[in-house]
Structure 1
Amino acid sequence: MTSQTISAQEQGYYTPEEYLELERNAEFRSEYDDGKITPMTGGTTNYNRLSLNCALALSLGLKGQDYSVFMADVKLWLPKSRKFRYPDVMVVAGQVEYYNDRKTTITNPQVIIEVLSDSTEDFDRNGKFTLYQSIPTFQEYILIDQNQIAINQFFKTGHKRWTIDQYDKQDSELVLKSFALKIAISAERNSVGTADLYEKIDFANNA
């Protein structure tokens, strides 16, 4: 899909099905906002590594259990706001529910994880969190900083009630609350010998 095509799309209105067909053959990813299509920006190597490290730790830690881990190219449909988003990592408990039987788009994540980028940090912290709260199955939201060891973990305790835990370089493990799983945070305080979340993250040259 060329930049000229994207420009034409942004001037018109597209149904969810039209967006999904365009996205299926697109050269790069775009998001959908109730009829409008917006190209997504690229990520840094730190961003990519953190997403991969997190998805790998979840996949290994939940192996053999009734959970599914998705990342990168799997979309999330938000029916109340009529939006499609690409969360960095999602975990589904039990059977995966798809939008109109399309295997590229899910509707029922329990855990959503976003790696913060400089350009979208404010929206990830506030705007996306508000959007995601419209999902009935959504219980846990984790924000991972790519410029320093810093993690915010939100967990649903009741209707419109969330707790927040914060992790930094003083902490050795990220403790998931939706299921029994701990992920080592950094090599400096990793006492269990497994791969850590911030493995190979270069804070000095984040590119």
Structure 2
Amino acid sequence: MSVAVRPAPMTIAEFLAWEETQELRWEFGGFAPQAMTGGTVARDTIQANLVAVLNARLRGTPCRARGSNLKIEVAGSIRYPDAFVTCTPLDPRATVGREPVVVFEVLSSSTARTDRVEKMREYWDTPSIRRYVLIEQDAVSATSHAREAGRWTGRVLWAGDVIALPEIGIEIPLEDLYEGLDPEALRAPA
């Protein structure tokens, strides 16, 4: 199927109106639409586990985890993170999540540069975001970046570590995100 992409540049409002008429999902990096592609079983498993674990631990709080079907507006861009947590009530008809506090991306070879550079800059420039977690899909590992005293710090996590999320009052054992996946198979060459 061929999809006509509207000529750039666009504003966020123009992008959101345009995207409503599209069959596929698109991100907006502040200039032009960028098509979203599919993922792997590992990525899907990690994302599903992440949202389930977050919501189980957030039960009874004002915070709620959302998956990649809901987009967020960050620093002049529209993104579909793999998961994010917001503690602000959302209109049930909303298509854009507001005021994310914690954002998660599951890295793949095709998205790692965008996640580590472009999105990181956008997330860091969004005042409501207090933590950005990059999760590896090829190994039990993650990097957790936190906003502390106006600066960003990062910590690499490995098997046996816990992702501390004091911004939302919970912790998650890293292995919980990989439930249903064989760690040895993740590292095996494709």
Pairwise same-fold verdict (TM > 0.5): yes
1:41 Cα deviation after fit: 1.9
Equivalent in 48, 53, 71 of residue 75 of structure 1: 71
Q: Which has the larger radius of gyration?
A: 1
Q: Does 1:133 align with 2:127?
A: no
What residue in structure 1 maps to residue 165 of structure 2? 176
Provide the aligned length of Structure 1 versus Structure 2. Answer: 187
* Moved beyond 4 Å, runs of 4+: none
Equivalent in 82, 107, 116 of residue 116 of structure 1: 107
1:35 Cα deviation after fit: 4.0
Equivalent AA in structure 1 for residue 63 of structure 2: Y
Cα distance between partner residues in 1 of 2:115 and 2:28: 16
Cα distance between partner residues in 2 of 1:166 and 1:145: 11
Equivalent in 142, 155, 170 of residue 151 of structure 1: 142
Q: Is the 8 A contact 1:151 1:168 kept in 2?
A: yes
Matches within 5 A, 1:52-63: 52-63=48-59
- Relative to the length of structure 1, the TM-score reads 0.80
Equivalent in 16, 39, 46 of residue 43 of structure 1: 39
The answer for unaligned runs of 5 or more in structure 1 is 187-195
Q: Is the 8 A contact 2:63 2:168 kept in 1?
A: no
What residue in structure 1 maps to residue 84 of structure 2? 90
Cα distance between partner residues in 2 of 1:114 and 1:41: 14
1:13 Cα deviation after fit: 3.4
Distance 1:163 1:127, change over 3 A: same
1:198 Cα deviation after fit: 0.5
Equivalent in 188, 199, 207 of residue 179 of structure 2: 199
* Seq. identity, %: 29
Q: Is the 8 A contact 1:140 1:177 kept in 2?
A: no
